Chain A
């Protein structure tokens, strides 16, 4: 900030009457700030996650045995306007999971035909027999059903990579809903006849499907976990079921990831220019801040353990219309309904959500967390996090999670007590001084994040920012 003062006096012909500020400054000490940095954010995720000490460097999440229910998403390759499904991706379909005969998968992928569907057109109709497998390559499709009194109800939104009619692969049946394109949509279609032709030629495929049907017969609860048998409310003396709780045979193990850098400081600098601030400390402080920012980024975006990638497919929902409306956040709350702790969203997404609220005349209460007032929705605070990516088409995601080990939620993993620890789970080690008199320090942060139970984390995808109207 600068201030200009006009103190020209009439007698000031050849010079000034008193000492100028320029000259005065030669005698005074400048008050200096430590080096400032734009990259620093509030890093709410790091502050809010409960951190679990992970002594052996590996964290094993034991779970009850689960017979996988959910499906993944299918990816496509595009050349010009022609879209093809990548054959190996077909194993994301529940009945084909674990099927590894590439030739058959390629033959299946060949038989898909591409269809362009206009907005508003029906792709499948409720009550019709299931006679085709439809993969959605691009576009938004609404699932619509009829309610108890004949009125329409929306049963969710499908988009890129989702599919419908996978019953074709098993036993057919009827469509329980209509699927109606909400935008211009590209779909790939495999007819039942084509599929049966290929299945007839491939004993391996038939055997795999038979095995899948048999696996479906395992007793399980609503979440796909191997059932704990019990009887209730009986009179008389029935034989009680004997039971045990089966565990997953190969539970997921999370290894601590690391963010590292080598910080170099010339000895001349660190020896001489230390008043009033230690040069080394300031260099370290900024490096550590950058490292922590990277840590938060990785916790969200890492392909192995990042929360966006680690969320179960059954816990991912799409927005109803595009922008993040109150209805979408309510839907997300119904997905993670067991003691949700907080939402995490890009600041622009929070602004978009605020706009949608205002449009409906709803003013959500804010809530207080650690002395900060943050916006909240249904009592669950919404924290900003600029690490959640915004794609080039201006879409982003909302995260909602339950935290803590005792709640079977999301936990951060770290290891305290490492050698030369500078902050919890962050070490600064002196490496050496080289021939050019440069001192090197190795700065490393160890971290990871684990989702203990899939329903602890939900993601609202395809949130559009900046939509008008």
Chain B
């Protein structure tokens, strides 16, 4: 039997622990910090040394066809399209006449659909440009044996029927509202009426037709002409691989701060831990956290913003299910890893459990994480969760050899302390405060658009 020691109400007979502690040394931890996370993104990205500070990604010439997201402004129940964002429509790509865009934006007519209603039906004449302002729309087709085939999901900012200005055919697919859907529609009649009065718009349509007419492969790259399987002696096509004349250049971005330490603190209180060193360590951790946040969220090079519109897909229902991750995987070779917010991972796990699936786990750098089809799902709390409870899941191929995603840094920066991170002593001011400039230089580049995919609008808390 072991008795629990309690403070007896007797007079103490010997020295108490409180008094004894005044003579003893306390074992101390270095300062702990909650903000530190595993920073998987920084660990899995292969880092490329950018000696000149600029990294140019040369690609084959691509006839860009737009395809981004149109944005909307809502006042009450009224939704309006923001005119400059209309240039995300393929046929208005690169169009700059603000007045004409304003006119077009005003002509859109708002419609509401209840879940299950058909927005367009296959076989009906396609006489409208449709913009989806809010809600989820399922794109369906009739299969070869009469069954329903799901082609994909459209949602906020997507458009339909705006590919080509000419051939007024029929819809090749059915659009069915999956939730309450708000659609803005512009009849081609009106569009043509506007173009009739605006020479710049007519010129734009001409340019668009010319772009469509150029020979290209299915990714929009200028075609390399080949002949194959011929008999006899046909003339072989002469060809060359054209390059993008204005390739994208990535400059190294920076996270910087000035760390201040009073010389009194730095000089005197150094046993057993160096005060300056501890301050530096924590600051560097914070800088690295900021680096990971920027690599995901920066509007210039952040992975969430840098993904190609064609590589952004939406889940079939709300939460991220196994089907959605499969859909994400089938769009690229050699997927290296998924990145998701821990709560999005939990939501995915719930979907698996609901289907009676138990995904394998994989070991990566000594940690066990869940893997889906052998691709590890790494947690990253820098991917935002919106107020409405939606988040994104990123998947990528990495490495220069595989034309994947690479991290950029520069080796040998003066005062380098870790790769890509430098600490420079900047002086002591008249108040005896020493300052250190802590800077991290970094960026990330996507070599080929299909190296990076994003599953958007996954709901992390749906029941």
Contacts and interface: CB of A to CB of B under 8 A. Distances in A.
Interface of A: 52-64, 66, 144-155, 221-225, 228-234, 240-245, 247, 253, 255, 258-261, 290-291, 294, 325-327, 330-331, 333-334, 337-339, 360-365, 367, 376, 378-380, 405, 408, 452-455
A380 B363 CA distance: 11
Contact of B259 (A243, A291, A339): A243
B290 A408 contact: no
Most chain B C-beta atoms within 10 Å of own C-beta, residue among A147, A149, A405: A149
Nearest to B156: A148
A410 B256 CA distance: 32
B345 interface: yes
Contacts of A228: 257, 282-283, 286
A291 to B, nearest CB: 6
B312 to A, nearest CB: 16
Interface string B4-40: 0100000000000100110011111111111111100
B358 A64 contact: no
A62 B34 contact: no
A243 B257 contact: yes
Given A223-B34, A338-B37, A367-B368, A244 B255 contact: no
A243 B33 contact: no
Interface in B287-306: 287, 290-291, 294, 298, 300
A453 B461 contact: no
Contacts of B30: 62
B265 to A, nearest CB: 9
B100 interface: no
B25 A405 contact: no
Interface stretch (B86-94, B138-146, B386-394, B399-407): B386-394
Interface of B: 1-3, 5, 17, 20-21, 24-38, 135-136, 178-180, 253-261, 278-279, 282-283, 286-287, 290-291, 294, 298, 300, 318, 342-343, 345-346, 349-350, 352-354, 356-358, 360-361, 363, 367-370, 379, 381, 386, 388-390, 435, 437-438, 457, 459-463
A379 B256 contact: no
Nearest to A231: B256
Nearest to A451: B32
A363 B356 CA distance: 8
Contacts of B21: 56-58, 255
B258 A255 contact: no
Contact of A247 (B31, B291, B386): B31
Contact of A150 (B26, B35, B180): B180
A145 B17 contact: no
B25 A55 contact: yes
Given A60-B28, A378-B370, A327 B353 contact: yes
Mostly, the B contact residues are: mixed
Contacts of B33: 63-64, 225, 408, 453
B381 A260 contact: no
A360 B351 CA distance: 11
Nearest to A312: B34
A244 B259 contact: yes
Nearest to A298: B4
B339 to A, nearest CB: 13
Nearest to B345: A334
Contact of B32 (A63, A146, A234, A241): A63
Contacts of B353: 325-327, 330, 360, 362
Contacts of B461: 145, 147, 153-155
Nearest to A59: B27
B257 A379 contact: no
Contacts of A331: 346
B261 A291 contact: no
B261 A244 contact: yes
B286 A230 contact: yes
Contacts of B294: 232-233
A147 B349 contact: no
Given A56-B26, A232-B294, A253-B26, A152 B462 contact: yes
Given A149-B318, A365-B361, A452-B32, A242 B258 contact: yes
Contacts of A62: 28-32
15 contacts: A60-B26, A62-B28, A66-B34, A149-B178, A153-B460, A154-B463, A232-B290, A232-B294, A233-B254, A242-B257, A326-B349, A334-B346, A338-B379, A362-B357, A363-B358
